[in-house]
Structure 1
Amino acid sequence: MAAGTLILVPIILTIAALLFVETTPVSSTLRRRVSALKLNHGHMELVEEETCSNRTLRMTCRSLKAVLIVLEAAYKPNDSNLCGEVESRGSEEIKTIRRIQMIRNLFSDYESRPDRVDLKLSINRRCSGLQHCRFNAFSDHPEAEFWSPGNVRLKYACIPEAAIMKYCNRMLPVIGGEEGFLKSPGYPLFYTGGSTCGWTFKSLPGQRISLTFHDLDIRSPEQDGSCVDVIRIRENRVTLFESCGSAVGLEVLSESNVVTLDLIASGKIYPSRGFLLQYKAVGCPHVQPPNGSYAVNETGDAKTFLCKLGTVFPDTNTRTRLIQCKNGIWSENRQKISSQRCVVTASEIERNAGTRRSAALSSLAEESGTGGNGGLFPVSGVVVRSHDALDSMSSTAEPGNAAMVKNGNYVVDFVLPTALIALLFIGNAIIVWVIFQYRKRKQPAIEGEEMALRQNSEELPHV
């Protein structure tokens, strides 16, 4: 009897435990993380939550001048660690839902079941563009009626209204490292038409532009597939994107740094949300190599500059310079990079100076006819060493200094003496010519005096 009692006690405790677990609701938990990101006009609040699909999602912006943007929303049927039976749904209803789900799983391929179901379109339809919103998957998402409890991951942002552009026909500069937001006039209640409403996005040369539609909802296409109202993105007169209807998370990436976006609507007001998008620059702007260098190993995220042989960057004393691109900004300032200049190293200066000295010595040795004297050559009977003969030459002289020395010796040794001798000959000739002219002028007067003396001597009586 005692042995039978000992056997029955564990069985009774196990059955009681199962009944307790079946009828006792387990409270669900909530994971939440809040962070902030600085914008040009205030701060953007980022909220990440993960909870059970049975719970009502409550999205709230702490600032009264901010709007909701849904970034991510997904139901994960294979992950239900945060779920429990909630009091709002009776136990019988939950059991019925589970039975239906089990039957559906039996007649469907388990491997084809999705790991996640996107809820972003449904949440956008109800909450995007508002300041506060509640969302219940079982009532606001048609397909969730027979879902088994599973985790829901939600990520949304609260954007200050001052940071969102809402006026048409504007030029929007896209700056690297910064993000901008744009919504159509009237979003999220309606969008306007009757005239083209357009925007031009422009970044620095070398960058690309990314446009991400977090929410797009305009008039649906007609039965033949044609669009009455349309969103159109063009680049260099080429259409990159053209669509109507609803979409979420759609990204358009340009190839250049200028794109245009147009909202073309026929009616003046249409009761759809319009669109809300985020724009940013992708990649870093083009950078010219510093003076005396060239680019090697160039990729989208990094660029290496290499100085020419014998030169280095003065601030690092190395030939190579690596810059990296992160969030649209180079690791070094573009103006600083462009102002850099490769300079000659001290060893290269000394090597060039030695080369110029050797060239000058060779020229002098050839002129004196003592080319193979081991670095010694006679000058006016004195033996001078080659390095002593050129100590007065600057180590930073130009490569043409050896030729200048040779030309200087040629002038001193040949041209100057020849010119002096020529001047002496010319001077002597001038002096002889002057003397000859002087004598020529004096000769007629002397002859007249001699004739007069002769006549007087004839007139005198002879004794």
Structure 2
Amino acid sequence: DQEDSLLAEECSERELSFTCTFPTDVLVIRSAWLYGITAKVEDECSVAKHNLQYKKGSFLRFINKECGGKNQCKFSVWKHIPAARTDEDHWKGGVLHVSYVCLPKPEFHRTCNSEKYAQSGWLQSIGYPEYYLGDQPCTLSIHVDEGQRIQLTISDISIRDMRDGEKTCTDSVVVREGEHELLHRCGESNKPLTVTSEGNLINVTLIATSELYPKRGYIAYWK
């Protein structure tokens, strides 16, 4: 599903660098995996194709926090992952393997309570990556051709998390197909979240209690 993506690879001790060609484009990180030394191509900062299944861990939420929605970005494990210094053995000697795209801003479907008829595309909450808006639920409806199913992948989510004493998310991203709830999430995720519909219509809703909240919101891709 990432055939149109770009790939950035670097040794884990070094800095990853991203620049979108066009100044109005923004970075969307689709996945960010750490591979251990055994998966490396000898003497190179890259992963051998036959070793791609041997992931050591993900750093998606850290790189999204640093780079999501920007035109250019530099990312370092040691600077941007707080626990890396205390767990050096986990991060040293490996390869950072990042799949990403650069997209023009109009490419994102984000108008609340609107419908999108397309076989694939991108969703983004309004305000991403600086903030997301509340007041009232913001629903985006996706239709694909009759007889097709929809695979939706949330590549970044950063929503107010549950606090002490709270039993449920006050803010959340909810994916529904009719009355059936496919996903209900708040907080952040360190891996892409994927759901698949039975039919050809789903609704993606951002529910928030405050007018404006200083977390990124979400980005998702469907096909």
TM-score bracket for this pair, using the shorter chain length: 0.7 to 0.9
1:82–1:150 Cα contact (<8 Å) kept: no
- Counterpart in 1 of 2:61? 121
Distance 1:82 1:246 in 2: 35
Question: How do 1:371-410 and structure 2 match up within 5 A?
Answer: none
Out of 238, 241, 245, the position equivalent to 2:183 is 241
The TM-score with structure 2 as length reference comes to 0.85
Among all aligned residue pairs of Structure 1 and Structure 2, give the percentage whose two residues are the same amino acid. Answer: 30
Distance 1:151 1:273 in 2: 27
Distance 2:109 2:43 in 1: 39
SS at match of 2:199: coil
Against the structure 1 CA distance between its residues 119 and 205, is the aligned structure 2 distance closer, same or farther, given a 3 Å change threshold? same
2:110–2:140 Cα contact (<8 Å) kept: no
The TM-score with structure 1 as length reference comes to 0.42
Equivalent AA in structure 2 for residue 240 of structure 1: L
SS at match of 2:163: coil
SS at match of 1:207: coil
- Counterpart in 2 of 1:53? 12
Unaligned runs of 5+ in 1: 1-35, 38-45, 85-113, 281-463
- Counterpart in 1 of 2:168? 226
Shift of 1:50: 2.0
Out of 174, 177, 180, the position equivalent to 2:118 is 174
Unaligned runs of 5+ in 2: 46-53
Deviations 1:365-398 (A, max 9, x none): xxxxxxxxxxxxxxxxxxxxxxxxxxxxxxxxxx
Out of 207, 212, 220, the position equivalent to 1:269 is 212
2:150–2:199 Cα contact (<8 Å) kept: yes
Out of 150, 155, 158, the position equivalent to 2:94 is 150
Runs of 4+ residues over 3 Å off in structure 1: 79-84
1:220–1:245 Cα contact (<8 Å) kept: yes
2:144–2:201 Cα contact (<8 Å) kept: yes
Question: How do 1:342-421 and structure 2 match up within 5 A?
Answer: none
Shift of 1:209: 1.1
Out of 139, 150, 153, the position equivalent to 1:198 is 139
Deviations 1:334-382 (A, max 9, x none): xxxxxxxxxxxxxxxxxxxxxxxxxxxxxxxxxxxxxxxxxxxxxxxxx
Shift of 1:171: 0.5
2:147–2:200 Cα contact (<8 Å) kept: yes
1:83–1:151 Cα contact (<8 Å) kept: no
- Counterpart in 2 of 1:332? none
Equivalent AA in structure 2 for residue 171 of structure 1: E
More strand by proportion, 1 or 2? 2
SS at match of 2:150: strand
Work out which of the two has the higher radius of gyration on C-alpha atoms and give 1 or 2: 1
Out of 33, 36, 49, the position equivalent to 1:74 is 33
Deviations 1:111-140 (A, max 9, x none): xxx851211121111111111111011121
- Counterpart in 1 of 2:106? 162
Bigger RCO (CA 8 Å, 6+ sep): 2
Equivalent AA in structure 2 for residue 218 of structure 1: I
- Counterpart in 2 of 1:302? none
Distance 1:231 1:131 in 2: 25
Against the structure 1 CA distance between its residues 64 and 132, is the aligned structure 2 distance closer, same or farther, given a 3 Å change threshold? same
- Counterpart in 1 of 2:22? 63
SS at match of 1:116: strand
Shift of 1:53: 0.9
Question: How do 1:257-296 and structure 2 match up within 5 A?
Answer: 257-280=200-223
- Counterpart in 2 of 1:102? none
SS at match of 1:168: coil
Distance 2:24 2:179 in 1: 38
Shift of 1:276: 0.5
Number of aligned pairs? 206
1:54–1:83 Cα contact (<8 Å) kept: no
1:136 pairs with 2:76: yes
- Counterpart in 2 of 1:390? none
Against the structure 1 CA distance between its residues 152 and 82, is the aligned structure 2 distance closer, same or farther, given a 3 Å change threshold? farther
SS at match of 1:208: coil
